[in-house]
Amino acid sequence: MKKHVFIAALAFAMSAHVVTAQPDKSGPTVASIAPSTPASQMKPVAAQTQAAVWASRVLGRYHYKAVPLDDAMSSKIFDNYFEALDSEKLYFVQADVDQFAPQRNKLDDAINSENLTVPFAIYNMYQQRFTERMSYARELLKGKFDFTTDETLQLDREKAPWAKTEDEIRDLWRKRVKNDWLRLKLAGKEDKAIRETLDKRYENYVSRIKKLNNEDVFQMFMNAYATAIEPHTNYLGPRSADNFDISMRLSLEGIGAVLQSRDDYTLIREIVPGSPADKSGKLKVGDRIVGVAQGNAPFTDVLGWRLDDVVALVRGEKGSTVRLDVIPGDGGPDAKHVSVTMVRKKISMEEQAAKKSIIKVKDNGVERRIGVISLPTFYLDFEARRKGDKDFRSATRDVARILGELKKDKVDNVLIDLRNNGGGSLIEAIELTGLFIDKGPVVMQRTAEGRVEVESDTTPGLAWDGPMGVLINRGSASASEIFAAAIQDYGRGLVIGEPSFGKGTVQTLIDLDRFSQSEKVRYGELKMTIAQFFRINGGTTQLRGVTPDIKLPVLSDLENFGESSYDNALPWVAIKPAAYLPAGDLKELIGPLQKRHEARIAKDKEFQFLQEDISEVLKLRKENAISLNEAVRRKERDAQDTRAKLREARLAGATGTASDEPARAPGGKEARGKVPEATKPAKSVVALRGQPRQDDGLQADERNLQAELAAEKAAKDAKDVLLQEAANILADEVGMLKTDTRMASRAMPYMASTRGN
């Protein structure tokens, strides 16, 4: 049993629950500090003002990046709060913001004096403006639109200035409504049906916002404060805290899809292997759910709904039927809808565990067998382990078993596929590393007090002593980065792919209820950053992530997705390296392998298609606009369909790749195109609250998912392409090691199985 170090985050007697395998809470969620207040009377209650004070004391004293609650922080909270309410600058005008400008540097005083009138007043104005914009949008539906004019709608307004006048924001809404109408028109709907659909949609928007209460408002304000300190710090209201584990677990039950709210849509963020969503064959990451129906009942339009309400409709009893009305994510906003029927079931841990596959590569007439282990998360059944269950499930145990099977399969090299693995249990990252090194340090942690602790693999021996590699992408975060960095620092294996996310911090859950004077008054919890990870070479995975030895085409929007996209992310720093002995030196291999890789992809049709798609996505991101001319939109859609058909025909006529089999996803299924973003960990194996945990597996916070979904087209079929090329690279490595004994002795000094074979 390897060492599990507990992090003491606080100097006073406070139990710290370090979160593992849990995503950050994104957007407003329902808290439960006091009985709900109707939307028309949005005011703070005493428990909320008290909770704010205690939260500020904890954050100001015990956060890893302790920042005082002063005028400077107040200014950041002010901007964050307006950003949280109206990030696309669609509701407020500049005069609205200016009206509250005198309070910009006084929110610290408001918290300390337990007077949250101003934050609630800001929200009340937001609600008023929201209702006004929706009323105007519904009025526009009574008229007609001219789709022959040449005008465009700006897609991403996050960096746009506030509208200066009412006329300016009304024109913006005219374009938005026009675009909504055009989308439905291109989908084949008649004017009457379009008018009825949109009118109901806008009415639903208003009804949804009216269901928000003072608990939602307080949580949004407190998160504006928490995230102003550091991106991965959040406030959870009592109800959110109570449901933290169960809601995340249930999100993987039913149909096996993790949902994410962006703009007006509910997007599919992850699909669990083996789940009803996966087996349907009709759903993929990036698809947009616009309607939900129970059994044979009519669809309920969920466009514009709160995420938790959509999830409530999608969930249901095991064995019951649910239907989804879906707009394919890779078909554009005007694509035809698809109806998907599924029978709900409980998603078992087995279907979320590590999987293996074997890719065969021909190398100058010699077949190389590359064993692939796909690991979706660093999972661990903490409760079973705590109880002493000898058969408790863990990522390390499963991978060790698979490695034994791959030995019997006589594979030449092993690839650990960590793409979209957002993290999980720190102890699993350490023990998994131990399968590939003899023993030694794996990662270091530094607390806010500057205390450095070294986490080590203490079990001698290796489960696999042959060559190996790690495949990562921008969605690889936290524990994935710890593992990849350790393998790289030890010189144990090649890291292949694109730069990882860059999350090198540790969070803990702080229970604020202990400060309450009454059991009936609850304050909620803080998810707070309390430590930072460091590689054994002294650098950190924070901000920069892990840089691959062999770089594959970058599919992600590196500027808008990843730790570096946050303005207030912790900086990259270095500390004294740990004492460790490298297991090998792969530097001599990297140059020749890179040249072979570049020469191969220059002739690969699928890679050429991938590069074309990436160029197209970059062009669209730069343009940041969509035409409102019907003829132009139809032409664009037809051109996209033509390109897709041409590509299919060209691929069908291709002579194949270096493999004598089609590249397959782990588990033997044909891999499908997938957006390169963070995959949530297996919720059924996350630690129970109250158990010691490290590494919150935040995994690439969901910020800027829209930018990631824009890359859906570029990522279509890319998983096969990149996985196959990673296998090709490892096959090249095997060939080089077998023909050059000197290089082999430097790269793998203990790898007797490679030499002379």
List active site positions: 478, 489, 503
Q: Whole-angstrom Cα distance, residue 197 to residue 189?
A: 10
C-alpha angle with apex 734: 550 to 433, nearest 5 degrees? 65
Cβ of 135: how many Cβ atoms within 10 Å? 12
Half-sphere exposure of 394 (CA within 13 A, CB side): 23
User: Which pair of tokens denotes residue 750?
Assistant: 């203990």
Q: Of the candidates 541, 535, 475, which has an alpha carbon nearest to the alpha carbon of residue 503?
A: 541
Q: Whats the size of the chain, residue-wise?
A: 757
User: Which pair of tokens denotes residue 6?
Assistant: 């507990």
Question: E-strand spans in 77-221?
Answer: 152-154
User: Which pair of tokens denotes residue 373?
Assistant: 């282990």
Residue 670 contacts by C-beta under 8 Å, 6 or more apart in sequence? 662, 664, 720
- Between the alpha carbon of residue 685 and those of residues 250, 268, 355, 445, the distances in Å are 12, 21, 16, 24
- Between the alpha carbon of residue 660 and those of residues 361, 369, 602, 664, the distances in Å are 7, 11, 20, 12
Tell me the one-letter amino acid at 522. Answer: R
User: Which pair of tokens denotes residue 620?
Assistant: 């669209």
Quick one: DSSP state of residue 435?
T
- 3-state SS assignment for residue 142: coil
Q: Whole-angstrom Cα distance, residue 582 to residue 747?
A: 10
Cross-strand bridge partners of residue 378:
424
Residue whose tokens read 């949109």: 198
- Between the alpha carbon of residue 440 and those of residues 227, 365, 458, 462, the distances in Å are 36, 40, 6, 12
Q: Whole-angstrom Cα distance, residue 375 to residue 421?
A: 7
Residue 502 contacts by C-beta under 8 Å, 6 or more apart in sequence? 477, 481, 541, 542, 543, 544, 545, 562, 563, 564, 569
Continuous H helices in 602-675: 605-623, 630-652
Residues 303, 324 contacting (CB under 8 angstroms): no
User: Which pair of tokens denotes residue 556?
Assistant: 């992600």
Q: What is the dihedral of CA 30, 34, 37, 43, to 10 degrees?
A: -100
Q: Whole-angstrom Cα distance, residue 294 to residue 571?
A: 48
- Residue 79's region, left for phi above 0, alpha for psi from -120 to 50, else beta, is alpha
Q: Can you give 671-690 as a three-state secondary structure string?
A: CCCCCCCCECCCHHHCCCCC
- 3-state SS assignment for residue 530: strand
For the chain, how are helix, strand and coil distributed in percent, rounded to 5?
40, 15, 45
Q: Whole-angstrom Cα distance, residue 474 to residue 471?
A: 11
Q: Residue 459: what are its φ and ψ, rounded to 5°?
A: -90, 120
Residues 415, 422 contacting (CB under 8 angstroms): no
Q: Whole-angstrom Cα distance, residue 581 to residue 106?
A: 54
Q: Residue 521: what are its φ and ψ, rounded to 5°?
A: -105, 120
